[in-house]
Amino acid sequence: MCALGAALFLSAALPAARVAQARPLAASDIVFDTRPASDMLATWPKVGTGTIEAPRRLSASERRAAVKLSQTPAYRALRAFIAAENRCRLTDEEFARIVTHPDSTLCGLSLQPAYADRDSIRALVAEIQSRGDSLAIRIAAEVGRYLPSAADWSPVRFWFVVSSRWSFDALTLSAEQAGADGPIVLINLTEVIGYGASSRERLDTLAHVMAHEAFHSALRQREPVLEGWAKYPLNARYPMGYIARIMADEGVAHWIDWQARPGADSIFTARPGAKETRAFDTLAKACDRIRNRDGDPVGRMEVLQGASNGPLWSKYGSISGMFAAYRIESRLGLDSLRAAVTGGPSEFLQMYGRVAAADTLLKGVPAVLSGGR
């Protein structure tokens, strides 16, 4: 057989290589890990009295267990977040002491509220474990429809931890921040206890928050291949680009979060309500103040940070972006909003601009935001 004939024979005999097909985000891409919270709770007795027991001598094995907990990926990530937020770094031994003596406080970390609510947190962990499959299906469906399909989704990972109250409820850390191979979502169950009166109520509310964070985590995966996001890095070096990014990124995440919450029909209305009007008015004033180079630089930075930080309805970038996302989907359809996400902040703002131009009741966005600087 000639060389060409042999090659044709072999190519016909071997099965064709499978090419992965692009697909939406799926429930199998959503991964929950409740072990960090469970391991913390395992170091505390099941008392349910809500009190801190009298100090006692700890065994060597108890101390080793606490130190080992401090070294797990989830609590290393939590400690890195605390270090960045509070400018105070906890050693393994210091973190272990807070675990074994929850009435102590170091670097702003206090586990006393969690210790008092430890039985409620245990019940919440059990609720998450029992409803995990349905929760993953729900999150993937709510988030996946706003993202471009991909053939190489990495897991969207949730680490459930026990931390201070009034610090954070959920946040997405980059791979670098988390010391992991991809973005990680941290869920602070100490804060989630305040979501309702029962584990079921708490998880029902948490599901909205988790969908919000899952959007961030999944989008971070796709950004390297989405050209429209390249000139909008997640930093404040270019203030107008930062605000534009917040409007698209946080705006869509907030829309996913809030569209199905109780009372949403009174927030997302045909005529702009007070919250929507206020958000766009504050957005315009903030852009003017930030562009004023003669003003106080510290004050300008505080205004810039207010785009995504602070009380919910005062976050002018996130909230104006949420209403922009709502208007795009309600006027142009889901496919258009997904195209805006795929195209990046510039496409998102331009698409909303077209919607606002066609309706005199809607507020536009400052033209300076479209330049990415």
- Report the percent of the chain where pLDDT is more than 90: 81
Residues 220 and 236 in one domain: no
C-alpha to C-alpha distance for 333 and 235, rounded to whole angstroms: 30
Residues 296 and 216 in one domain: no
Q: What is the mean pLDDT of residues 42-48?
A: 76
Residues 193 and 254 in one domain: no
The more confident residue out of 118 and 14 is: 118
Residues 150 and 262 in one domain: no
The more confident residue out of 372 and 287 is: 287
Summarize pLDDT for 231-280 with one digit per residue, the tens: 888 777 889 999 999 999 999 999 999 999 999 999 999 999 999 999 99
Task: With respect to residue 16, please indicate whether it lies within any of the assigned structural domains.
Answer: no
Residues 178 and 41 in one domain: yes
Task: With respect to residue 18, please indicate whether it lies within any of the assigned structural domains.
Answer: no
312 burial type by CB count under 10 A (0-12 exposed, 13-18 middle, 19+ buried): exposed
C-alpha to C-alpha distance for 352 and 370, rounded to whole angstroms: 11
Task: With respect to residue 80, please indicate whether it lies within any of the assigned structural domains.
Answer: yes
Task: With respect to residue 197, please indicate whether it lies within any of the assigned structural domains.
Answer: yes
Residue where a domain terminates, one of 156, 191, 224 = 224
- The whole-number pLDDT of residue 18 equals 59
Task: With respect to residue 133, please indicate whether it lies within any of the assigned structural domains.
Answer: yes
Residues 69 and 120 in one domain: yes
Sort strands 184-188 and 170-173 into parallel, antiparallel or unpaired. antiparallel
Number of structural domains found in the chain: 2
Task: With respect to residue 14, please indicate whether it lies within any of the assigned structural domains.
Answer: no
The more confident residue out of 366 and 15 is: 366
Q: What is the mean pLDDT of residues 12-26?
A: 72
Identify the domain containing residue 315 by its residue range. 230-371
Residues 250 and 212 in one domain: no
Residue where a domain terminates, one of 224, 242, 264 = 224
Q: In this structure, what token pair is assigned to residue 165?
A: 């109250």
- The whole-number pLDDT of residue 233 equals 80
Task: With respect to residue 259, please indicate whether it lies within any of the assigned structural domains.
Answer: yes
Q: Is the pLDDT of residue 314 over 70?
A: yes
Task: With respect to residue 194, please indicate whether it lies within any of the assigned structural domains.
Answer: yes
DSSP state string for 113-147: HHHHTHHHHHHHHHHHHHTHHHHHHHHHHHHHTTS
Dihedral sign (CA 77, 30, 311, 325): positive
Q: What is the mean pLDDT of residues 181-199?
A: 96
C-alpha to C-alpha distance for 51 and 35, rounded to whole angstroms: 24
Residue where a domain terminates, one of 198, 224, 250 = 224
Q: Is the pLDDT of residue 7 over 50?
A: no
Is the separation of the CB atoms in 201 and 195 below 8 Å?
yes
The more confident residue out of 193 and 370 is: 193
Residue 237 in 3-state DSSP?
A: coil
- The whole-number pLDDT of residue 64 equals 86
Provide the whole-model pTM: 0.91
C-alpha to C-alpha distance for 272 and 326, rounded to whole angstroms: 11
- The whole-number pLDDT of residue 294 equals 75
C-alpha to C-alpha distance for 4 and 352, rounded to whole angstroms: 58
- The whole-number pLDDT of residue 88 equals 94
Task: State the helix-helix crossing angle for 73-86 and 35-42, rounded to 10 degrees.
Answer: 90
- The whole-number pLDDT of residue 238 equals 87
